[in-house]
Amino acid sequence: MDKTRSALRFKQVSTQELPNWCGGCGDFNILFALKGAVAELDIPLENVVLVSGIGCGSKTPHFIKTYGFEGLHGRILPVATGVKLANKDLTVIAIGGDGDGYGIGAGHLFHTLRRNFDMTYIVQNNAVYGLTKGQTSPTSEKGFKSNSTPSGALEDATNPMVLGITTGATYVARGYAYDVDHLKKLIIGAVEHKGFSLLDVFQPCTTYNKIQTVAWYKQHLKKLEDDTSFDSKNKQEALKRAMQWGETIWYGKFYQERKSTYEEGLPQIAKASLLNQMRENQNIDISPLMNKFK
Ligand code: SF4
């Protein structure tokens, strides 16, 4: 897509609403990358649905001119699954925080990963519960001090990349909010991938996480795409890189494979979406209803 069309699409994708996140919050850049990706993907905006939960970043659907659904805390994936089952032709992008996805919604995540629905799940991972004022989350470092663990977290942090690779996601990637162009490419890759894409995004929370700061990320992060010996089709190698957590922490696309999706295996919707079947079988005209929302 040429630059002029891309800029025009970016404008079309943006709503009038403005986020009121704290200064320096990584959510701004994730939003920017997501808008850029949706603009470049050139999918009709009425065919894109953003599903979010509860959290600072879960306000994202308000700022992009697609369909959106802001649901309950931890229930992003059941809603996204429902949308996909009703109309598999839609591009479904689920988006929410680490507390929402890896804490409250962890049970849903596990089963959605292994089902391999054709959808994208972006996790705004700041390793803390931001909206509820700074409690320890499943991705907080061991020893992390917060309102909920004043003496320091006792558990090891969960590793979403390892979880994604070993539990069945077929596109597993980690982005960084302060590498926006790279993040945009990862989002485009995730949406274009046929199957379930787990895209965890490191994002500094400038208010409640004083450990994983921009300086901390700068010191530790290395991009997989800069290492030409790395092959994202090699599961063992992907796992090895994903497990590395110390001086070097890798980000980029860890793993991708093509496997049949849940929708392809489900006879009721394998050939046509439920919506289209309903329209064809009952000759239902939904245009009066749709006109109400214009
Ligand atoms: Fe962003 Fe943290 Fe502020 Fe929430 S509390 S808006 S995550 S910086």
| 272 occurs within a structural domain | no
pLDDT of 165: 98
Measuring from atom 2 of ligand 1, which residue has the nearest CA? 205
Encoded amino acid at 217, one letter: Y
Encoded amino acid at 66, one letter: T
Q: What is the pLDDT of residues 210-266, one digit of tens each?
A: 999 999 999 999 999 999 999 999 999 999 999 999 999 999 999 999 999 999 999
Q: And the tokens for 112?
A: 């959605």
CA–CA dist 164, 198 (Å, integer): 7
Instruction: Answer yes or no: is pLDDT of 270 > 80.
Output: yes
From 145-149, 241-245, 268-272, the region with the lowest mean pLDDT:
268-272
Which residues sit opposite 267 in a β-bridge? none
The residue whose CB lies within 8 Å of the most ligand 1 atoms, and thus the one to mutate among 18, 25, 28, 213, is 25
| 17 occurs within a structural domain | yes
Name residue, tokens 């909206």.
Answer: 131
Measuring from atom 1 of ligand 1, which residue has the nearest CA? 25
Instruction: Tell me the pTM.
Output: 0.94
| 282 occurs within a structural domain | no
> Residue 150 C-alpha to ligand 1 middle, in angstroms?
20
- In this structure, what are the phi and psi dihedrals at residue 269, rounded to the nearest 5 degrees? -125, 5
| 147 occurs within a structural domain | yes
| 131 occurs within a structural domain | yes
Q: What is the pLDDT of residues 82-138, one digit of tens each?
A: 999 999 999 999 999 999 999 999 999 999 999 999 999 999 999 999 999 999 999
Instruction: Answer yes or no: is pLDDT of 280 > 80.
Output: no
Output the CA angle 242-94-181, nearest 5 degrees. Answer: 60
| 69 occurs within a structural domain | yes
| 65 occurs within a structural domain | yes
Helices (DSSP H) in the chain: which residue ranges?
3-13, 26-41, 76-86, 98, 106-115, 160-167, 180-192, 214-220, 235-243, 262-265, 267-270, 274-282, 287-292
In which domain, by residue range, is 37 found?
A: 3-264
Q: What is the DSSP string of 110-150?
A: HHHHHHT-S-EEEEEE-SSBTTTTSB--TTSPTT---SS-T
Q: Which residues does ligand 1 sit against, CB inside 6 Å?
A: 21-22, 25, 27, 56, 126, 130-131, 205-208
Number of domains in the chain: 1
List C-alpha distances in Å: 206 to 94, 189, 211, 218, 279: 24, 28, 10, 15, 49
Query: Distance between alpha carbon 287 and the CA centroid of its chain, in Å?
Result: 32
Instruction: Determine the atom of ligand 1 nearest the C-alpha atom of 21.
Output: 6
| 269 occurs within a structural domain | no
Q: 110: domain CATH number? A: 3.40.50.970
Q: Cβ of 89: how many Cβ atoms within 10 Å? A: 12
